[in-house]
Amino acid sequence: MVDEALRRRAVDTVWSLYRAKHRDVDAADSRRCLLQRHLQGRWEARVSEVEELTGFGLAYLNRLPKDEC
């Protein structure tokens, strides 16, 4: 499904950018799951542009407390 591929691309992009800035975060960190759920909700709310989802995702991760997970 094309829509699903675009959402996954946004998640992958956000996660890569976040980990580049926060080198102490492991690739399997549970924040990725939180990010996926957050962007799924945005996707369902009709935010369907990858760039817009990326912005929402980065803002979401930056708001999470360090001990959230």
Q: Return the higher-pLDDT residue of 22 and 65.
A: 22
| Residue 30: strand, helix, or coil | coil
Domain boundaries, the chain: 2-19+26-63
Q: Within 10 A of 30 (CB to CB), how many other CB atoms are there?
A: 10
Mean pLDDT value of segment 27-55? 86
pLDDT of residue 65: 79
> Residue 9 above 60 pLDDT?
yes
Band of residue 42 on the pLDDT scale cut at 50, 70, 90: confident
Measure CA of the first residue to CA of the last residue in the chain; give whole Å: 30
Which residues does 27 contact at the CB level (< 8 Å), separation at least 6? 19
Q: Return the higher-pLDDT residue of 20 and 41.
A: 20
